[in-house]
Structure 1
């Protein structure tokens, strides 16, 4: 791998088997229109600014933030590891449909259009339009216009228009849409807020009264009206929060779900590696982003089975617990 200390090319930057000891940032007005092409096997230790950024192949690691004036594209034929440690932002589009590699975005994504397949996002996504397929987003997905999801795990979502297909799993109790959610006949919505993710990550037995809740997009939907001055906004809320709070079946703090997700999302900013204690083999179970990504994809693809938790509860049971 050839080491590069300074990048100063007006027409464009092409990287192949390079270690960039610094940032790729414009120093002249002409360099504002510079494209960056990463062909393969490259580490950039700083940030990148480009008119267009394309990654053709892994292994690629960018330690600083990324901003593109136009598009950020990962080739459909890309293979290997692609890891972006800090925030990624684009004034236009971020597109990755690669099936043979798993791009890992370890912080937030901001853009006009975000289209991802087989990607892991430790932070949140903010865009006008978002299309996700076979993706993990530990934070929220927030779209001002439309959100389309197929077979994904997301923390939560909020969009004016939401269309889902396949299995969608939520990490938080509630999600929102401006209009009624469009659901295909085979689509299923699940909630993992009461699943013992910490135990599943360690490979140890799950706590009692924990598990995944299958949601009903009709009975678990509530309409709310929000007012801002004379303007009225209708919001559709899909939630199991009433069941979570009312049933009071488990000590949520012991699940370590928020700690697992938070430590992963903040991994690039933390000075130490945290752990969840001892795993099933008696070894220290550290929270490593790549390992967390594997865990959630195994959860998404059914390789790790979660106990099913009945979403119903009785008033008598609540009264007994509160008395």
Structure 2
């Protein structure tokens, strides 16, 4: 890998391959605002990056500072290797990656007009007008001002006017929201993992008896609310298992360690030390690194880790006795 200690780029496009950039790639004059950056493989940038269009043709790539692209941030569909953004990513237009053979990790939030991601891990949240996710994990929320199209993904929650779901969808938080009725493809299943024993699963240990995923019925688990203002009225639909979660709160769910695991993922590189969940099934320390958490959730998506099902129905008196 070549180390570029002092960078003197001109106003034309920048192409980097086998480079370590000790610093930022930022424009210093107006003409450089239209400069495109192309990463061709095996690059590390230790500072922030600005580009008119940022293209990643090949991994490995690690950008340790914040990233902003004026026109587009694009990951080539044939890209391989590891691609990671350690800070927040923004774009005035679109963030697009349909690559199926690379390990794409966003350690923080994504903010763009449109976001299309396949096989990506986002430790933060996504904010956009339109979002398309396929085989993705988003620890935070997916917040769209227009619509979300989601297939075979794990997300913390979502809030959008319109949403279409397909495949198997997992929610990490008790509730998610839309304005229009959710469009559900045939054969779609939605599960809520609020009461799943993620801590034990992460360590490869047996799951707690009173834990598991709750299969959500889009019809019965939908709650419609009317929001009325001075000059407007809006309908908000929530898809929630919050009643079941509140009832189960009488149990000792702290031992699930879900909150600690998800917080460690969302804070990512901001943590000054690596935390752990104790000892795993092999007697080794179950370290909470972003990459380990990413692998854990993708194993859930792939069915390599099976979460036991929990009956969504509950008897309050029975739960009280167990508590």
* Structure 2 residue 13 is matched with structure 1 residue 3: no
How far apart are 1:281 and its partner, in Å? 1.1
1:110 equivalent in alignment to 2:111: yes
Once residues 8 and 238 of structure 2 are traced to their aligned partners in structure 1, the CA distance between those partners, rounded to angstroms, is: 49
**Partners of 2:223 and 2:294 in 1: CA distance:** 32
8 Å contact kept, 2:250–2:320: no
DSSP-derived class of the 2:44 partner: strand
Are the equivalent residues in 2 in contact too, given 1:210–1:250 (CA < 8 A)?
no
Tell me whether 241-250 or 108-117 shows the greater mean CA deviation.
241-250
Instruction: Check whether the contact 2:251–2:322 (CA below 8 A) recurs between aligned residues.
Output: no
Aligned to 1:45: 46
Verify: 1:235 aligned to 2:236, yes or no. yes
> Aligned partners of 1:125, 1:24: CA distance in 2, in Å?
24
Which 4+ stretches in 1 moved above 4 angstroms? 318-322
Taking structure 1 as the reference length, the TM-score comes to 0.97
SS in 2 for 1:30: helix
Cα–Cα, structure 1 residues 307 and 7, in superposed 2: closer, same or farther, change >3 Å? farther
Give the equivalent residue in structure 2 for 1:138.
139
- Does the 8 Å CA contact 1:143/1:158 hold for their aligned counterparts? yes
Does 1:93 pair with 2:86?
no
2:36 is aligned to 35
Aligned-partner SS, 1:141: strand
The Cα of 1:102 is off from its aligned counterpart by: 2.2
State how far apart, in whole Å, the 2-side matches of 1:168 and 1:276 are: 26
2:93 and 2:164 mapped to 1: Cα distance? 22
Shift of 1:46: 0.5
- Deviation larger for 211-220 or 226-235: 226-235
- How many residues align structurally? 322
CA deviations 1:43-69 (Å, max 9, x no partner) are: 000010000000000010000000011
> How big is each residue's C-alpha offset from its partner over 1:226-283, in whole Å with a ceiling of 9 and x where there is no partner?
1232211111100001011124463222211111111111121111111111111111
Secondary structure in 2 matching 1:91: strand
Distance apart, 1:316 and its partner CA: 3.9
Is 1:307 aligned to residue 303 of structure 2? no
The gaps in structure 1 that reach 5 residues or longer are: none
Corresponding residue SS for 1:112: strand
Contact persistence 1:209–1:249 (CA under 8 A): no
The secondary structure found in structure 2 opposite 1:206 is coil
Query: SS state of the match for residue 71, structure 2?
Result: coil
Shift of 1:155: 0.3
Structure 1 residue matching 2:264: 3-state secondary structure: helix
Q: Relative to structure 1, is the Cα distance of residues 275 and 247 closer, same or farther in structure 2, using a 3 angstrom cutoff?
A: closer
- TM-score between the two structures when normalised by the length of structure 2: 0.97
Q: CA deviation at 1:7?
A: 4.3
Who is 2:129 aligned against?
Answer: 128
Kindly indicate whether the alpha-carbon contact (under 8 Å) linking 1:7 and 1:24 is maintained by their aligned counterparts in 2: no
Kindly indicate whether the alpha-carbon contact (under 8 Å) linking 2:109 and 2:126 is maintained by their aligned counterparts in 1. Answer: yes
1:53-64 correspondence runs (5 A): 53-64=54-65
Quote the RMSD (CA, aligned, Å): 1.3
- Distance (whole Å) between structure 2 residues aligned to residue 162 and residue 7 of structure 1: 46
| Superposition map of 1:257-268 within 5 A | 257-268=258-269
Do the aligned residues in 1 keep the contact of 2:108 with 2:125 (CA within 8 Å)?
A: yes
Q: Structure 2 CA distance, aligned partners of 1:72 and 1:126?
A: 15
Structure 2 residue runs without a partner (length 5+): none
SS of 1:209's equivalent in the other structure is coil
CA distance in 1, matches of 2:273, 2:58: 30
> Aligned residue for 1:244?
245
CA distance in 2, matches of 1:228, 1:109: 31
Are the structure 2 counterparts of residues 7 and 205 from structure 1 closer, same or farther at C-alpha, using a change threshold of 3 Å?
A: farther
* Distance in 2 (alpha carbons) for counterparts of 1:173 and 1:219: 15
